[in-house]
Amino acid sequence: MAEESTGCTSVDVVIVGNGPSAMILSYILHGHIPFYNPEKPHPDPLLHAKLKHNPLLLHLDIEHLANHFTASRFPYSTQALPVNALLDALIRPNGDDDEGTDTGVEWRYMPEMATSHLIFGDADQPGGQWTECPEGTTPNIQTLSYAGMLSLPGYTFAEHHQRVHGCPLPPFTRPSREAVAEYLAAYATSVGISESIRCGQEVSGVVRSMNGFFIGSHNITCNRLILASGIFTERIPPRPLLLPLTELPPPSPVRPRHAPLLVIGSGFSAADVIISSHPDQKIIHIFKWEPEVNPSPLRSCHPQEYPEYAAIYRLMKRAFSQLNQRNGPRRQNRAGGNSIPFLESRNWHDNYEGIPNTMVTDVLLNNGKALVKLRLQDGKTISREVSSLAYVVGRRSTLNYLSNNLRAEIFGNHMPTGDCGTGDCGWVSRQTMRARALEGLEVTNDVFIIGSLTGDSLIRFAYGGCIYAAGKLMQSDLNKENGYVTEDFGTKTSRSKCWIA
């Protein structure tokens, strides 16, 4: 799909990042075009009325289609960007209870619409960050999303499960991270986009040229650039005082160590390390507890849907309550409420010590262990011996593969700063990119952001940005090509092949 010219490869579109959003966009750019299916009316009659005569989803008037969302009885996401909430609602018209099988979107194969493109990602296989197993965790950690919400168009997770295991996928399955990685790797081949994906390759030196962009690391020119590199590429490193603890052996889920594992963090990543730890491993857990100001994301986890995360949250809540009891006896495993099986699976009473709102003030390494001094929220100081550190307070990313001038185009006076000599040209976070995405997904001329760079990190919310970007990238006037007319878009034409998302 790329053309060679004077030793420099030329392609219409380059996508940086080989995760799910890059693959969704590639699927569209290969000529699979999304249409609203008016024969399956959306539960929101107003949205159905707006789309039934204009079902092509490539060129959407988002403001017009979404201007009634806040007043609608349909549970549109209030957290996602409107374009992402819209496409999620169309693909899963039954809301959060929908596995994605009863969809309102059909995909027509129209090869004449294909756009030449290449995907470059540093992950060794298609899937981006999903291919990693974060340090201190096990591959069988379950996802937060149900399988139906992790599916990409043309080949669903359920279809992959049926092919691999020879049996239907149980409803509302939360697959393991490993299973999702295997699905995403198989997806590229199954839908025929693998020839456009270059894995294990890091992009750098991207500059704007006279007629588009030049990718210095690969000697490639392109007309349009898609940023799909994500906002979770690296864990936030420990502060300097804690760096000696990184010299200790990493956390091991396989065998317990005599001294406790020190876990610092309040969210899902910290919970994943605790869940993955050996059942006999003692744990010291330092976390922020500010439920009224900055609650842990674990608080929203229902005990029936997410029992393991609800259990960790209950342990944290109990630890805070105990700390505030004056001379009170230490309470047993149950902190009130219904029993959670995960809480009964280990001796948490002896193996878990939660210490909220605590600061590490000193670290002394000694024979493969460390003595850490901790200042509690009441000012008292205690010491604990630890064998390893899991510092999991969040993740971040950079766009330092772009030139300074190109990043200045994107961020203007709000450009993240850093020391490029150390490889840090300024970190970007969800908040940084969300503010930019609210102004438009075309963040500067011919440069688009998709996936978690829009501030929406769930796969289910990747469709909107990808379809929006594809509409800008592909030819806009379908009527001039092959005799297509607007009133035929709602039905399957003789030259189209349909897939249901």
Which tens digits make up the pLDDT trace of 143-168?
999 999 999 999 999 999 999 999 99
Asked whether residue 112 carries a pLDDT value surpassing 90, the answer given is yes
Q: Which of 151, 111, 106 is nearest to 30 (CA)?
A: 111
- d(CA 288, CA 264) in angstroms, rounded, equals 9
Cα diameter, the chain: 82
Domain ranges of the chain: 19-200+440-500, 237-391
- d(CA 253, CA 251) in angstroms, rounded, equals 7
Q: Which amino acid belongs to residue 370?
A: A
Asked whether residue 316 carries a pLDDT value surpassing 80, the answer given is yes
181-214: per-residue pLDDT in tens?
999 999 999 999 999 999 999 999 999 999 899 9
Asked whether residue 476 carries a pLDDT value surpassing 70, the answer given is no
Q: What was the pLDDT predicted at 97?
A: 62
Q: What was the pLDDT predicted at 475?
A: 64
Q: Hey, what CATH class is 237-391 in?
A: alpha beta
Q: What was the pLDDT predicted at 6?
A: 46
Average pLDDT on 366-390 reads: 96
Q: What was the pLDDT predicted at 417?
A: 64
283-296: per-residue pLDDT in tens?
999 999 999 999 99
CB atoms within 10 A of CB 361: 12
Asked whether residue 329 carries a pLDDT value surpassing 60, the answer given is no
Average predicted confidence (pLDDT) for the chain = 88
Asked whether residue 32 carries a pLDDT value surpassing 50, the answer given is yes
Reduced to 3 states, what is the DSSP secondary structure of residue 263?
Answer: strand
89 φ/ψ sector (left φ>0, alpha ψ -120 to 50, else beta)? alpha
Please say whether the beta carbons of 29 and 226 come within 8 A. Answer: no
What b/e sequence results for 397-425 when a residue is b if at least 16 CB atoms lie within 10 Å of its CB, and e otherwise? bbbbbbbeebbebbbeeebbeeeeeeeeb
What is the percent of the chain where pLDDT is above 70? Answer: 87
CA distances from 312 to 302, 340, 392 (A): 12, 10, 15
402-433: per-residue pLDDT in tens?
999 999 999 887 777 655 444 455 788 888 88
35-46: per-residue pLDDT in tens?
999 999 999 999
- d(CA 407, CA 400) in angstroms, rounded, equals 8
Q: Which of 310, 315, 295, 395 is nearest to 355 (CA)?
A: 315
Q: What was the pLDDT predicted at 491?
A: 31
- Bridge-based pairing of strands 352-356 and 234-235 is unpaired
- d(CA 178, CA 351) in angstroms, rounded, equals 28
HSE value, Cβ hemisphere, 13 Å, CA-based, for 90: 34
DSSP string, 119-140: EE-SSSSTTGGGG---TT--TT
Tokens describing residue 490: 């709602």
Tokens describing residue 110: 């129209």
